[in-house]
A and B are shown apart, each in its own frame.
Chain A
Amino acid sequence: MTNYGHRIRFGVEVLGGSDAPGDAVALAVLAEELGYDLVVFPDQVGEGGADALSLAAWTAARTRTVQVAASRLDARARPASVVARGAGSLQLLSGGRGMLVLGSGSAGEDLGVVEEAVAVIRSLQDTSRSRVSSAGTYHRLADAEPGPALDREVPLWLYGADTALAALAGRVADGWVADLDEVGVEGLAGLNAVLDRAAIDAGRDVREVRRSVTLTSGDAADVSALVALVVDHGVSSVVLRVRTGDATQLRTFIDDVAPAVREGAERALPPGALSSRPVRRADVRARRRPGIAYDHVPDDLVATAVEPGDAAFGKVRSTYLRGGNPGLVLRQRNAAEVASAVGFAREHMHLPLGIRSGGHGISGRSTNDGGLVIDVGALNAITVLDEAARVVRIGAGARWRDVARVLQPHGWALSSGDYGGVGVGGLATAGGIGFLARKHGLTIDHLRAVEMVLADGTLVRASATENTELFWAARGAGANFGVAVAFEFVVDEIDQVGWAQLAFHAPDPAAYLEAFGRVAVTTPRETTPFLILGQGIAQLMAMVDSSDPDVIVSQLQPFAEIAPLMQQQVVIAPYAAVMNMFPETPHNGRGEPVSRSAFTREITPGFAAASADLIRSGASHWYQIRTVGGAVADVAPDATAYAHRDANFALAVMGANAQRLDRWFEPVRRQSHGLYLSFESDRNPDRIADAFPSATLDRLRRLKAQLDPDNLFQDNFNITPARDHTRNAS
């Protein structure tokens, strides 16, 4: 008895429709409505008929759930490289519903050409490389760009009843399909054995290759024979071949035959034998990293988990600024899955653990080398809970650009950072120093409640009345205590704002900085300026929380007088427009970002001089000062874990080389007090004392000992558990 544990699927192969391909599409659309899993279009370009790839793409646009296959593709009809790109686009546009079946099924097919085509298609899907080549006499690649990057590889099946083809399928394919009428049950068993042997010889798991049969008539379908095919011969897809116009057969088969086959097979096999757990190819498994129980990833996470050999790995391995090579990325779709993932992480305490929302963070290590990543990017729902009180629930994976876009039609905004691509979770557990900070405070100052999965896997809600100590800690040091899944914020009534981008001639950075500091501390709270200072040039971005041109101009005027203006643009725009200024870009960070942070109450001559030396040294390519103070300082330092309420300026600098940057940054640090952890990448334990005053840190360490005594969440600005507390507790 052979069964490979694959879930049973039913499909329909649509014949005909060469002169009226619309009829074929109509049948496919009906198949989806009836509950079929798969529609298959056999290619007819060899016989003066319709192009299967066009039919598949068109059908993908007219369906929502069904898998769409272009089938019986003669490997010689088109360059395999272009077929690969087409399949990639089909996969992207359809949301992962594409499929290719190579092999015309004709006797005497040149399987060498088929094998070359498979190699080319596989190579172009391998986006872990920058260029790919593939030798061949008919299909080849020479330094071609692989891609497009896919979330899931396009399944590549072979069609035919030939022994050599079955063996080839065993070596290289994801599935094999034959006409049952042609091979018969005995023939199928024989070819299956050939396929298995070839797979094993190639170092593969026989379960990597799905087995499928096409039935030429549903009327004669013998349920017990089909059950036997599933139970004894491992067939997991049964495809009914139907001519356009024959909708009756389509209905009968799915209504009567399919459920009976499913039931019969489930009765005959041990419970749970037919799973939807994917079996990864040997070459994918070969890229697994040590120390990870890949085959024990919880069932609810299996479908979305990404391993190094997976197609989606290129898109998830790195973050905005940090290059990464994690061993496993778990992508949760709800809080229960986050709890599963945390449980799995607890069994892997020996590995680095990254927590990722938007993947923009500099200090938070939301990627790593060989470790786990819990990626909550899919938890991105934004829901208005209370229109009158302006309470909004926001998933940790949402991006601030999307938050702004959703709030804007209500005439609302929530101060975030300076870039719309940043994720909610990382920023809203650290602080959130944004363009509305001086008028409306930090992002965390708007927090009413947070839902978090703790180290022990429990989901808790923290607010002013529940888990109050955690609510305090989550606002400034949240990443140490759990995985935030959602936040409830009270947002502000903000419609249009003044938005200024000014560029100054600033040959003397120290003088510019001092003047900027003087103006900034006296400017009304409506205005929050951010300054980027470079060699010879200063760029000021400022938001004025007002839609009155007179107010905007009068508050900006003192800044405009600091130095000669080279460029200026002032517009009245929604906050959402500012957050959506830059398009979404893929995250392809490389290496390790080097970033330093400091707070200061004022820009003293000493601070300005040290900064000027730093800028002139060339050790830093990014020097940004954000103004804080105002409403941020209205909150007591001990009200949240973010304690540096008295600072008026937050500095962030970035460089390429840590040693070199530190040489020039140390004098600046000496002129400042404290730091904002989101912009500090130095892992020196001294920095933790800069991030949190001692009273805050002691309190955090006591809570850490209580909620995460084993220090599961440590791959960030780590607050080590208080040891005395552990003793007391035991």
Chain B
Amino acid sequence: MNSDTNTDYGHDLLFGTFVTPTTHPVHQAVEQAVVADRAGLDLVTFQDHPYVSSFHDTSTLLAYAAARTERIHLAANVTNLPLRPPAVLARATATLDLLSGGRIELGIGAGAFWDGVAGMGGPRRSPGESIKALEEAIAIIRGIWDTTDRSVLSVRGKHYDVHGAKRGPAPAHPIGIWVGAYKPRILRLVGRAADGWLPSMQYLQNGLPELTEMNRHIDESALAAGREPSDVRRFLNIGGQFTSQRRGFLQGPPSQWAEELTEVALTYGTSGFILASDDTTVTQTFAAEVAPAVRKLVADARGTSRHE
């Protein structure tokens, strides 16, 4: 691998799952969260599509699953902002973070599926509007959480107008705000305002190499805002299959996955891998055979590069 193209933000690696919040069977998603927790993964996440009636309400599911798990962190992947007013979202997330002893993170997106959103009584926003709304929302959320700030919380935005709202509750730990984003304008918002970036492999139209350009938008925007590129952790939602033979990217034995994810980590600076899995065995294999192997390979590679 050409070291010129290597990117590394120096984060330790996180591994998690992306579990379908299905209501049938009712407790399946909770059980899969428990599986991920017991398997030793770092993170379990659920998509948030309130207009889909066969899915659980993600906020309720997060609370219930958090109460049934012990160690794992939980997040929406990603929260549908247009249907979740930011001040209430901030308080709900903080409430849950306090209840869970600091295990909640906030994955959030500008919104999608606008017919569904509008059908549920939410606003229909253009791409530009939705990004503006997300930026306002992040300011409100951070303001609500920051109880050390004694000033009046005031975000008089185009989409959200919060003035004089009480701050609090303060979360138990610094909750990461992780944004699902693909296009340059929202990537720049990620660089300015977010703690993490949460794209999905399947939505990368030109495959993984696209991450390089996307990273660049985030990095430049972070620097321009006086932040460090490493202030934004890079996640990746992935999908794959464990098979005995090598069939393609993340289609093969765990050892092959480990090599491939190591390469992604070292090439694009990805430090959080979130696997779509509703299957106990797949989750356990990912936790037991892939995660430790990637950690080791990445540590070895980082060690080597430091000594050069």
Contact of A61 with B121 in the complex, beta carbons under 8 Å:
no
Contact of B56 with A58 in the complex, beta carbons under 8 Å:
no
Which residues of chain A are near B59, meaning CB under 8 Å? 53-54, 57, 82, 86
Which residues of chain A are near B88, meaning CB under 8 Å? 45, 51, 77-78
- Please provide the chain B residues from 93 to 145 with a CB less than 8 Å away from any CB of chain A in the complex: 95-96, 98-99, 118-122, 144
Contact of A142 with B118 in the complex, beta carbons under 8 Å:
yes
| A294–chain B nearest beta-carbon distance, Å | 28
B53 within 8 A of A: yes
With A19-B98, A19-B170, A49-B168 known as contacts, the answer to whether A148 contacts B53 (CB < 8 A) is yes
Please tell me which one of the listed residues B51, B64, B96 contacts residue A145 in the complex, with CB atoms under 8 A apart. B51
| A391–chain B nearest beta-carbon distance, Å | 30
A256 within 8 A of B: no
Which residues of chain B are near A120, meaning CB under 8 Å? 121
Q: Residue-by-residue, is A480-507 near B (CB-CB < 8 Å gives 1, otherwise 0)?
A: 0000000000000000000000000000
A146 within 8 A of B: yes
| B40–chain A nearest beta-carbon distance, Å | 21
Please tell me which one of the listed residues B23, B67, B92, B170 contacts residue A62 in the complex, with CB atoms under 8 A apart. B67
Contact of B120 with A93 in the complex, beta carbons under 8 Å:
no
Which residues of chain A are near B64, meaning CB under 8 Å? 57-58, 60-61, 89, 93
Q: Which of A20, A77, A82, A143 has the most CB of B within 10 A?
A: A82
Measured in the bound complex, the distance between the Cα atoms of B96 and A452 in whole Å is 51
| B64–chain A nearest beta-carbon distance, Å | 5
With A61-B63, A86-B60 known as contacts, the answer to whether A144 contacts B119 (CB < 8 A) is yes
Contact of B23 with A141 in the complex, beta carbons under 8 Å:
no
Please tell me which one of the listed residues B63, B87, B118, B122 contacts residue A57 in the complex, with CB atoms under 8 A apart. B63
Which of B4-12, B25-33, B191-199, B263-271 sits within the interface? B25-33
B54 within 8 A of A: yes
Chain A, Cβ-Cβ closest to B66: A58
Which residues of chain B are near A85, meaning CB under 8 Å? 50, 53, 56-57, 60
A81 within 8 A of B: yes
A80 within 8 A of B: yes
Contact of A586 with B24 in the complex, beta carbons under 8 Å:
yes
A55 within 8 A of B: yes
Contact of A48 with B165 in the complex, beta carbons under 8 Å:
yes
A18 within 8 A of B: yes
| B286–chain A nearest beta-carbon distance, Å | 21
Q: Residue-by-residue, is B260-293 near A (CB-CB < 8 Å gives 1, otherwise 0)?
A: 0000000000000000000000000000000000
Please tell me which one of the listed residues B27, B83, B118 contacts residue A82 in the complex, with CB atoms under 8 A apart. B83
- Please provide the chain A residues from 20 to 61 with a CB less than 8 Å away from any CB of chain B in the complex: 20-22, 25, 44-45, 47-51, 53-55, 57-61
Which residues of chain B are near A81, meaning CB under 8 Å? 50, 83, 120-122
Q: Which of A54, A78, A81, A145 has the most CB of B within 10 A?
A: A54
With A79-B121, A82-B120 known as contacts, the answer to whether A45 contacts B91 (CB < 8 A) is yes
A88 within 8 A of B: yes
A139 within 8 A of B: yes
A302 within 8 A of B: no
A140 within 8 A of B: yes
A584 within 8 A of B: yes
B166 within 8 A of A: yes
With A48-B169, A60-B64, A93-B30 known as contacts, the answer to whether A143 contacts B119 (CB < 8 A) is yes
Chain B, Cβ-Cβ closest to A138: B121
Number of chain A residues whose Cβ lies closer than 8 Å to a Cβ of chain B? 52
Please tell me which one of the listed residues A20, A45, A92 contacts residue B92 in the complex, with CB atoms under 8 A apart. A45
How many cross-chain pairs have Cβ atoms below 8 Å apart between A and B? 154
With A19-B169, A48-B165, A85-B50 known as contacts, the answer to whether A57 contacts B60 (CB < 8 A) is yes
Chain B, Cβ-Cβ closest to A83: B57
Measured in the bound complex, the distance between the Cα atoms of B52 and A146 in whole Å is 9
| A49–chain B nearest beta-carbon distance, Å | 7
| B57–chain A nearest beta-carbon distance, Å | 4
Contact of B168 with A93 in the complex, beta carbons under 8 Å:
no
Measured in the bound complex, the distance between the Cα atoms of B23 and A45 in whole Å is 27
B167 within 8 A of A: yes
Measured in the bound complex, the distance between the Cα atoms of B88 and A127 in whole Å is 28
Please tell me which one of the listed residues A89, A124, A136 contacts residue B23 in the complex, with CB atoms under 8 A apart. A89
Q: Residue-by-residue, is B47-73 near A (CB-CB < 8 Å gives 1, otherwise 0)?
A: 000111110110111011111100000
Contact of B118 with A22 in the complex, beta carbons under 8 Å:
no
Contact of B99 with A584 in the complex, beta carbons under 8 Å:
no
Measured in the bound complex, the distance between the Cα atoms of B237 and A413 in whole Å is 41
Number of chain B residues whose Cβ lies closer than 8 Å to a Cβ of chain A? 45
Which residues of chain B are near A49, meaning CB under 8 Å? 91, 168-169
Contact of B168 with A82 in the complex, beta carbons under 8 Å:
no
Q: Residue-by-residue, is B146-165 near A (CB-CB < 8 Å gives 1, otherwise 0)?
A: 00000000000000000001
B85 within 8 A of A: yes
With A78-B88, A148-B56 known as contacts, the answer to whether A18 contacts B23 (CB < 8 A) is no
Q: Residue-by-residue, is B73-87 near A (CB-CB < 8 Å gives 1, otherwise 0)?
A: 000000000011101
Contact of B50 with A145 in the complex, beta carbons under 8 Å:
no
Q: Which of A18, A20, A58, A586 has the most CB of B within 10 A?
A: A58
Chain B, Cβ-Cβ closest to A81: B120
With A51-B91, A51-B92 known as contacts, the answer to whether A146 contacts B53 (CB < 8 A) is yes
| A26–chain B nearest beta-carbon distance, Å | 11
Contact of B50 with A22 in the complex, beta carbons under 8 Å:
no
Which residues of chain A are near B53, meaning CB under 8 Å? 85, 124, 145-148
Chain B, Cβ-Cβ closest to A55: B95
Contact of A79 with B95 in the complex, beta carbons under 8 Å:
no
Measured in the bound complex, the distance between the Cα atoms of B96 and A143 in whole Å is 32
A376 within 8 A of B: no
Contact of B99 with A82 in the complex, beta carbons under 8 Å:
no
Chain B, Cβ-Cβ closest to A44: B91
A90 within 8 A of B: yes
Which residues of chain A are near B52, meaning CB under 8 Å? 145
Contact of A93 with B95 in the complex, beta carbons under 8 Å:
no
Which residues of chain A are near B121, meaning CB under 8 Å? 79-81, 120, 136, 139-142
Which residues of chain B are near A18, meaning CB under 8 Å? 168-169
Measured in the bound complex, the distance between the Cα atoms of B214 and A85 in whole Å is 35
| A130–chain B nearest beta-carbon distance, Å | 10
Contact of B26 with A93 in the complex, beta carbons under 8 Å:
yes
Measured in the bound complex, the distance between the Cα atoms of B208 and A442 in whole Å is 56
Measured in the bound complex, the distance between the Cα atoms of B62 and A58 in whole Å is 9
With A58-B64, A61-B63, A89-B56 known as contacts, the answer to whether A584 contacts B25 (CB < 8 A) is yes
Measured in the bound complex, the distance between the Cα atoms of B120 and A143 in whole Å is 8
Which residues of chain B are near A53, meaning CB under 8 Å? 59-60, 63, 92
Q: Residue-by-residue, is B18-48 near A (CB-CB < 8 Å gives 1, otherwise 0)?
A: 0000011111001000000000000000000
Measured in the bound complex, the distance between the Cα atoms of B177 and A9 in whole Å is 43
| B48–chain A nearest beta-carbon distance, Å | 10
Which residues of chain A are near B23, meaning CB under 8 Å? 89, 92, 147-149
Please tell me which one of the listed residues A54, A92, A136 contacts residue B63 in the complex, with CB atoms under 8 A apart. A54
Which residues of chain B are near A80, meaning CB under 8 Å? 121
Measured in the bound complex, the distance between the Cα atoms of B92 and A55 in whole Å is 9
Measured in the bound complex, the distance between the Cα atoms of B67 and A145 in whole Å is 29
Measured in the bound complex, the distance between the Cα atoms of B3 and A702 in whole Å is 90
Q: Which of B23, B120, B168 has the most CB of A within 10 A?
A: B120
Which residues of chain A are near B119, meaning CB under 8 Å? 141-144
Chain A, Cβ-Cβ closest to B49: A85
Measured in the bound complex, the distance between the Cα atoms of B168 and A20 in whole Å is 12
13 contacts across the A-B interface (CB closer than 8 A): A18-B168, A45-B88, A54-B95, A55-B99, A57-B61, A57-B67, A58-B96, A79-B85, A79-B120, A86-B59, A89-B57, A89-B61, A148-B23
4 closest cross-chain pairs (CB), A and B? A147-B53, A48-B166, A61-B67, A57-B63
Given contacts A54-B96, A585-B24, 14 further A-B contacts (CB under 8 A): A48-B166, A48-B167, A54-B63, A54-B99, A57-B63, A60-B64, A82-B84, A85-B57, A86-B59, A124-B53, A139-B121, A142-B118, A144-B119, A584-B24
